[in-house]
Structure 1
Amino acid sequence: MELNLNRRQFVAAGTVAAMGAMAGLAGCSSNDSKTDAKTDAKTDGKKVEAPEKLVFAWEPGASEGKYENMRDLIAEAMAEGAGVPCEPMTTTDYNVCIEAVNSGKAHYASLGAKEYVELHKKNPAVEVAWVLSDGEGKLNQVSYHSQILVLDENADKYKKGDSYELTQDAMKGKNMSWVELSSTSGYVIPSIALATEFGISDSEELGESGKFFNTVLFGGSHVNSIYNVLIGDADFCACDDTGAANNYNVVEGENGELGALYEIKSGLEAPLDKYAGVKLRCVSSLPVPAVPFVVNTDYVPEDMNKKVVDYMCSDAVSGNKELFKDPKDKDTVTKWKQTTGKVTFTPADDPYYDDFRKLIGEE
């Protein structure tokens, strides 16, 4: 069974944020798997009981119907590692996903880097558990890219020589589609980069209609951000080059690379189903740290979390072709590709995001 929550349902359920003030952990456990616990030195000796079932919350982009098999396989893998069942939770709002793991309604979650950094600052009990590795199977500061796309027929307006460059004159007064204010690749990084390049002191101006852009739209997902350009409501759209890539074929260049040309796939679900063959050009590309898979350590004992992380970072998971698919596989829908034979999940900790914190002013 898969849980599904939207913002109204979550609030109506009366869930209250658990803003833990802990900063360090000290563990202890018994031999009974149902009573395994750890002691938190910052919460008056509070013991964390091992849950009889785990819940994994997915952000809206990964909550789409086409990712159901991926979510189920991740839940099965986590259950294998933890020794207890795991249930996926889908959400329709980033804030619901954040609140789910913050409050303990979900034990684990997939968040954007910005969501994690901000949540960890408020609640240090929410920590990074693992992230996606680079092509060599190692932890890398650059995991994927934030893109700005335009219709290819308009791309020459943003070309300088043999490359592409977004200038203040070319963008000001146009219409922009972001993903969400909290989306790392769909708003945070590109808006900060553009504000810095254009000398705009407050990057939030780029998220409001009538300021820098004439109209600002928020798609709510990377797919819907692209859709806003396809239907002509936006001149530009921000999206990632991972999940969004399931909706297009790369015609020229490399996925996520400046200047890459994409073509919308045929046979997609709404809202892109009517736009097969339409071409989009990548006119901006920025590096992004890996997406964090996080755990709320107030609700998962240290020893259980270690077992989960060890299994999620094992060959059993990275070798599953339904999770880490062959790049030539056109049918399997998942967020990860086995491009080198070495791509895997890898353990990470909070300092991994220190450079990102500096970028977004959350030091």
Structure 2
Amino acid sequence: MKKKLMLAMFLILSVFLTACGGGSNSAGAADDVIKMVWYPNESGNDLKSSREEIGRLISEATGKKVEHQLTTDYAVAIESLVNNNADLAFMGAQGYVEAKNRNDAVQTIAVKSGESGTLEDAKYYSWLAVNVDEQDKYKKDGEFSLDTIADTKFSFVSNSSTSGFKVPAANMIDHFSKQEAYADLTEEDLMESGPLFSQVLFGNSHQGSAVNLLTGNADVAAFCDTCVEEYVEIAEGEENTAGAVYRVKDNAAEPFHTVTGKEFTLMSAIPVLNEPFVVNMDVLGQEDFDKIQELFTSDEVANNEKIFAPKDSGQSALFSKSDKERLVAVEDEWYDPIREFSK
């Protein structure tokens, strides 16, 4: 009798736990809260309205509450997604590739198009910049030269940043490894003082790297155009070309509020694939994925000025729009060129 009673109690308990647990598959793992994690670049107050609008629209589309997780470190955002602590993220291409390598449930959902409204011109730019007054130090025969950055104080964004580390690092290694003194130069060498740089800083955001340059903490800095476009304006030359001069706006928000009016010039501008929105399918689930992808790629989002601010409007938003820019669906394979940087 005791054995039968214990068996019956065990079966009842098992049924109860199964009902409460909801199973272990990805559909069962989905809950009533969608957690969205943001890189440091997009965690500032200047983009609060964009984050809230995106959250509101996702909540309407899915019927679920959206919680925003703001970060001050790239690694924290990547870890949250990889370890099933976030459903959705907006991150750079390199961050996505790293996350995908560690958790195959991570996948792309949408990316900002180019002006054409397609993936054909879906790109932004990785900049190397120097202060205007010191630009001649970085030229040879009147042209900017990478040779001149040796022994300088250099600022990257994060070693998980595509345009703030991976792209410029690959360019530097390709250039300097042809010289005997730097024949064995590696990414790891670029993360610390010597053999190429006298000092290496990490801004932890594109804004932070730019401010490192403008405050004199760094001689040369890597950062991207889209992450600082709200704070700077073209002062001379053609946008995204070597020699173009940018000035920090007089009303620039933090962290540029202490360097308003200062100018920097571009040593180089390298095109990079646009940053994706990505999801963790183990915690989001296919039903919500479909709803969010339909929302993101809709005209409603493309025409929403809280998300796509008209260029030169003075509005702060996650994206700027000058023509047919919108969010479009994107597959994992589109980021294969970024994977090549890590080989």
TM above 0.5: yes
Is the contact made by 1:48 and 1:300 (CA closer than 8 Å) also made in structure 2?
no
Number of equivalenced pairs: 317
Matched, 1:338 2:341: no
| From 323, 334, 342, the counterpart of 1:352 | 334
1:318 Cα deviation from its structure 2 partner: 1.0
| From 237, 245, 250, the counterpart of 1:266 | 250
Q: Secondary structure at the match of 2:283?
A: coil
1:327 Cα deviation from its structure 2 partner: 1.1
Matched, 1:192 2:153: no
Change (3 A) 1:234 1:106: same
1:241 Cα deviation from its structure 2 partner: 0.4
RMSD: 2.1
Is the contact made by 2:112 and 2:122 (CA closer than 8 Å) also made in structure 1?
no
Change (3 A) 1:49 1:150: same
State the structure with bigger RCO (CA 8 A, min sep 6), 1 or 2: 2
Could you say which structure has the higher helix fraction? Answer: 2
Is the contact made by 1:142 and 1:287 (CA closer than 8 Å) also made in structure 2?
no
Write the distance in 1 (CA, Å) between the matches of 2:257 and 2:26.
52
Change (3 A) 1:298 1:267: same
Write the distance in 1 (CA, Å) between the matches of 2:240 and 2:191.
23
Q: What pairs with 1:126-141 in structure 2 (closer than 5 Å)?
A: 126-140=106-120
Which sits farther off after the overlay, 289-298 or 203-212? 203-212
Cα offsets for 1:253-274 (capped at 9, x unmatched): 3433322210011122344223
1:275 Cα deviation from its structure 2 partner: 1.9
1:313 Cα deviation from its structure 2 partner: 0.9
Write the distance in 1 (CA, Å) between the matches of 2:337 and 2:208.
29
Cα offsets for 1:58-106 (capped at 9, x unmatched): 0111111221111101111222332322222111111111121122221
Write the distance in 1 (CA, Å) between the matches of 2:90 and 2:212.
25
Write the distance in 1 (CA, Å) between the matches of 2:236 and 2:128.
16
Change (3 A) 1:206 1:90: same
Which sits farther off after the overlay, 109-118 or 47-56? 47-56
1:142 Cα deviation from its structure 2 partner: 4.8
1:129 Cα deviation from its structure 2 partner: 0.8
Which residue is 1:165 aligned to? 144
Q: Between Structure 1 and Structure 2, whose CA radius of gyration is higher?
A: 2
Change (3 A) 1:161 1:288: same
- Structure 1 stretches lacking a partner, 5+ long: 1-36
Write the distance in 2 (CA, Å) between the matches of 1:190 and 1:221.
15
Is the contact made by 1:81 and 1:310 (CA closer than 8 Å) also made in structure 2?
no
Matched, 1:144 2:144: no
Q: What pairs with 1:13-32 in structure 2 (closer than 5 Å)?
A: none
Which residue is 1:56 aligned to? 36
Write the distance in 2 (CA, Å) between the matches of 1:184 and 1:205.
17
Q: Deviating runs (4+, > 6 A) in structure 1? A: none
Write the distance in 1 (CA, Å) between the matches of 2:199 and 2:189.
11
| From 180, 184, 187, the counterpart of 2:158 | 180
Write the distance in 1 (CA, Å) between the matches of 2:80 and 2:49.
21
Q: Secondary structure at the match of 2:258?
A: coil
Which sits farther off after the overlay, 101-110 or 290-299? 101-110
The normalised TM-score by structure 1 is 0.82
Q: Secondary structure at the match of 1:343?
A: coil
Which residue is 2:191 aligned to? 207
Is the contact made by 1:114 and 1:183 (CA closer than 8 Å) also made in structure 2?
yes
Q: Which amino acid aligns with 1:175?
A: K
The normalised TM-score by structure 2 is 0.87
Is the contact made by 1:129 and 1:309 (CA closer than 8 Å) also made in structure 2?
yes
Q: Which amino acid aligns with 1:336?
A: F
Q: Which amino acid aligns with 1:189?
A: V
Is the contact made by 1:141 and 1:290 (CA closer than 8 Å) also made in structure 2?
no
